[in-house]
């Protein structure tokens, strides 16, 4: 089993977190927007005490971050949010059992649409599993993205030319 270097994050702990349905559901909610304990508890129909324990464990691991925000009346609320993107690749076949964990350095706003990103990840997974015919699909995606990049650069040049 291998692990890419990833700061102080523990691969076993990440796999443990991802093995828990409640924690996966919490992460799924926090993908959308930061939330506080009672929002998460209500949405998942799970007691606040249990939610707090799950959040604490994920924050200690570094998957989540928290911050306090003032509200009109009462004490500030503690909001939880994703701290950064993490990619976990698990490859299991006759010759390999490999788990790689890497931090996504790209800002979410710069990623392709969900469908395109999913398509690219699917092609990558198929290639890593030895399905070499997916290489042609990857080449096709590269051509498409290259064409889109070229067009975007042309538009940028045109716009910058008119602003001078």
Could you count the other beta carbons within 10 Å of the beta carbon of residue 66? 15
* Domain assignment of residue 3, yes or no: no
Q: What pLDDT is stored for residue 94 in this prediction?
A: 81
Counting the structural domains of the chain, the total is 2
Task: Return all residues near 153 (Cβ < 8 A) that are at least 6 apart.
Answer: none
Q: How far is CA 164 from CA 30, 154, 158, in A?
A: 43, 16, 10
**pLDDT tens readout for residues 33-56:** 899 999 999 999 999 999 999 999
Of the residues 54, 84, 114, which one is the last residue of a structural domain? 84
CATH code (residue 66): 1.10.10.10
* Domain assignment of residue 4, yes or no: no
What is the percent of the chain where pLDDT is above 90? Answer: 26
Q: What is the pTM of this model?
A: 0.55
Stronger pLDDT, 148 or 99, i.e. the higher one? 148
Domain shared by 32 and 22, yes or no: yes
**pLDDT tens readout for residues 106-128:** 333 344 545 677 778 778 888 88
Q: In three state form, how does the secondary structure of 16-35 look?
A: HHHCCHHHHHHHHHHHHCCE
């Amino acid at each position: 089993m291998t692990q890419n270097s990833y700061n102080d994050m523990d691969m076993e702990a990440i796999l443990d977190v991802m093995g828990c349905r409640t924690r996966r559901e919490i992460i799924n909610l926090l993908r959308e927007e930061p939330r506080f304990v009672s929002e998460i508890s209500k949405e998942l129909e799970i007691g606040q005490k249990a939610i707090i324990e799950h959040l604490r464990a994920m924050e200690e691991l570094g998957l989540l971050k928290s911050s306090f925000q003032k509200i009109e009346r009462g004490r500030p609320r503690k909001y939880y949010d994703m701290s950064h993107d993490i990619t976990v690749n698990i490859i299991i076949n006759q010759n390999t059992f490999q788990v790689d964990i890497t931090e996504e350095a790209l800002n979410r706003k710069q990623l392709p649409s969900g469908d395109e990103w999913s398509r690219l990840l699917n092609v990558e997974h198929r290639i890593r599993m030895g399905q070499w015919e997916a290489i042609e699909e990857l080449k096709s995606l590269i051509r498409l993205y290259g064409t889109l990049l070229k067009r975007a650069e042309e538009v940028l040049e045109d716009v910058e030319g008119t602003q001078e």
